[in-house]
């Protein structure tokens, strides 16, 4: 049975809705592809930082089940940030990998 996806609201500079429950478990590429197949955007580093702040620091949100689940994942597993590292003779450039 496929998990039903709902959206959780995370305080951010603008409205930020993230899918819950999280996609996975699986590998980096398959999780990213599943997000895209479901019509969801790939989360940016800023999105993940806002989620982490809400899960650990926001007293109104941190005790909600979805934010507790995020903390559990952070302690036991990982949250992927989809980036590409482009190495050049001048250094490394990091860009978002929105197409996985």
* CA 95 to each of CA 3, 34, 68, 81, 91: distance values in angstroms, whole numbers, following the listed order: 31, 21, 29, 11, 13
Is position 82 within any domain? Answer: yes
Is residue 83 over pLDDT 80?
A: yes
Range of the domain at 48: 6-96
Is position 1 within any domain? Answer: no
Is position 61 within any domain? Answer: yes
Is position 62 within any domain? Answer: yes
Instruction: Report the pLDDT value the prediction gives residue 3, as an integer from 0 to 100.
Output: 59
For residues 47 and 59, is the Cβ–Cβ distance under 8 A? no
How far apart (Å, rounded) are the C-alpha atoms in residues 31 and 47?
17
Is position 37 within any domain? Answer: yes
Calculate mean pLDDT across residues 69-98: 88
For residues 63 and 54, is the Cβ–Cβ distance under 8 A? no
Instruction: Report the pLDDT value the prediction gives residue 12, as an integer from 0 to 100.
Output: 61
Is position 67 within any domain? Answer: yes
Query: Does 68 sit behind a cis peptide bond, omega within 30 degrees of 0 on the bond before it?
Result: no
Is position 33 within any domain? Answer: yes
User: Higher pLDDT residue, 74 or 4?
Assistant: 74
| Number of structural domains found in the chain | 1
Instruction: Say how many C-beta atoms besides its own lie within 10 A of residue 44's C-beta.
Output: 15
* pLDDT per residue as tens digits for the range 38-70: 888 888 888 888 888 888 988 888 888 888 888
Stretch among 2-6, 29-33, 45-49, 70-74 having the lowest mean pLDDT = 2-6
């Amino acid at each position: 049975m496929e998990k039903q996806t709902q959206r959780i609201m995370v305080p951010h500079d603008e409205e930020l809705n993230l899918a819950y429950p999280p996609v996975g478990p699986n590998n980096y590429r398959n999780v990213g592809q599943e997000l895209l197949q479901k019509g969801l955007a790939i989360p940016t580093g800023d999105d993940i930082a806002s989620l982490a702040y809400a899960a650990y620091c926001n007293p109104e949100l941190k005790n909600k089940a979805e934010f507790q689940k995020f903390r559990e994942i952070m302690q036991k597993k990982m949250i992927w940030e989809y980036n590409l590292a482009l190495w050049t003779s001048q250094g490394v450039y990091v860009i978002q990998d929105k197409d996985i």
